[in-house]
Each structure stands twice: as C-alpha cells, then as structure tokens.
Amino acid sequence: MPKVSVIIPTYNRGSFVIHAIESVLAQTFKDYEIIVVDDGSADNTRELVKKYGDKVRYIHQKNQGPSAARNTGIRHAKGKYIAFCDSDDRFLPDKLQKQMDYIKRHPDCRFLYTWYYNVDAEGRRTKLRKPTKCKGREHLQYCLFTRRFTIRTSTVLIHKKCFQKVGMFNEKYLYSQDWDMWLRLASRYRGDCLQEPLSEYLLHGNNRSSLSVKTYHPEIIKSTLKLYGWSNKKLKKLEKKYGIKRRKH
C-alpha cells in the first residue's frame, strides 16, 4: 500500500491538470499513488490523463462539485495519508518528503499545512503566502474561525483516519467547503504549519476563491460555534488572549 494518496479533483481543466500530475510525478518522495477524479469534464481531460497509464488512477463521475470529487478520491485512496493537489496547483519537488519527515518528528500531528506561492498566468511567482504557525489547538481554532489566514487545500497532508471522526467534505457547499473542513479537523486534532513554500497556486480567470468567503458563512459560523462550544463571552476572551480581532463575516 502507498504511504500517501494524492487526490487531484478536476473539472474541464485539461490544460492545467497535466501540470498538476507532472508536479506529483516529480516528487522526491516516491511512496505515493495519484488519483485523478474527473467531475464530469466535457473537454479532453480523460484523453490527457489516460496517457499516463498505470501511473495515475483515473475516476470519472457525473458533475457533483469539488467536495464530491474530493470525497470520491478519499473513498478510493489506499494511502495512510491524504494530500490534495487541485488541478490548477502544483507541488514543489520536495513537498511530500518534507511533510512526511515532519510527521515522523511529530507523530501526534494529524494535519500539516505549509506556505505557498501565488503564480500568475505566465508562471511568475507573484506573492508568498505565509499561514501562521499557531501555538496549540485553541489558537489554531481561533485563527481559522476569524480567518486570520487561509489554508490552501493543496498544501495540506492529512491522516486518512481523521475523516472517520470529522466526516467528509460537505457536498452541499459549493464554496468554503475547505474552510469548513479545517475548522472541523481543528476541533479534534493537532494541526501544524511547516513554514516553507512547498506548492504553487495558479491565479487565472476561472478561480472561484474570491467568491468562496461570502456564500456559506452564516451556516458554517453557527455550526462551528456549536462544535467548539464558544459563546460571545468566550469569543471576547479569545480575542483578548490572542490579540486578534474578529472580522465581520
């Protein structure tokens, strides 16, 4: 069995997905499998992926959205750990190796995120994104809840068994499903930041991230407050403790 399952969900991004696949194949860490979940593409994604033969497991499903595609990949994964590489992202060559080395040094860490680069359409790195390394689980919970920083899905390495406890990606969310997942993971598990840029996020006209923080906030906020058992009084204490003011959601 592979140690890591790398899941690449994609939808009509044949021109991008091959670069995501190539970035995984270039990893210095070799104990992995690649699963491409095609969420009902109508372009040439199938033909492009099939050229990789048995190097890539290809799964086609009817269009159900990114959460469903990730969940399909998780259900088919054979690895102990799960990594995601969105089809418009790329891993740097030592991403998996450095993350696995960190996990070996910190075996109680159940999900590990990293810094990453924003990259423009010409392949130029335009910005280094540096999510915070938090001081304990409560600090991470509060930073995530207040959106102090964004965890990019393609930076995360997660112990597969975590999904048995916190559940899968919420398929009714078209946006913010990743934020919802990190909040749930942080409710039960230690999450750390490896403070190195180990992936690239390609910015292009079809990115949907700019819309993601607007759509499902009320429901996610309500469920998270219930999950964490936080009252307004508790939130005020956390704001004072960590010096982070709550944003207006």
Quote the pLDDT of residue 216: 54
C-alpha distances in Å from residue 74, one per residue of 81, 145, 240: 10, 25, 39
The 10s digit of each residue's pLDDT in 111-156 is: 999 999 999 988 899 999 999 999 999 999 999 999 899 899 999 9
Amino acid (one-letter) located at 219: E
Q: Can you tell me which residue has the tokens 């492009």?
A: 48
**What whole-number distance in Å separates Cα of residue 215 and Cα of residue 175?**
7
Distance of CA 18 to the CA centre of its chain: 19
Flag residues of the chain having pLDDT under 70. 205-216, 247-249
Quote the pLDDT of residue 182: 98
Quote the pLDDT of residue 211: 47
Quote the pLDDT of residue 208: 47
Question: Beta strand pairing status for 190-202 and 89-91?
Answer: antiparallel
Quote the pLDDT of residue 249: 54
Quote the pLDDT of residue 237: 94
**What whole-number distance in Å separates Cα of residue 161 and Cα of residue 154?**
19
The helix, strand and coil proportions of the chain, stated in percent and rounded to the nearest 5, come to 40, 25, 35
Q: Residue 22: CB partners within 8 Å, gap ≥ 6?
A: none
- Which has the closest alpha carbon to 34: 15, 18, 14? 18
| Domain ranges, ordered by start, for the chain | 4-242
**What whole-number distance in Å separates Cα of residue 196 and Cα of residue 175?**
27
> What's phi and psi for 52, nearest 5 deg?
-80, -5
> What kind of fold does domain 4-242 have according to CATH?
Spore Coat Polysaccharide Biosynthesis Protein SpsA; Chain A (3.90.550)
Quote the pLDDT of residue 231: 94
- Which has the closest alpha carbon to 112: 89, 95, 94? 95
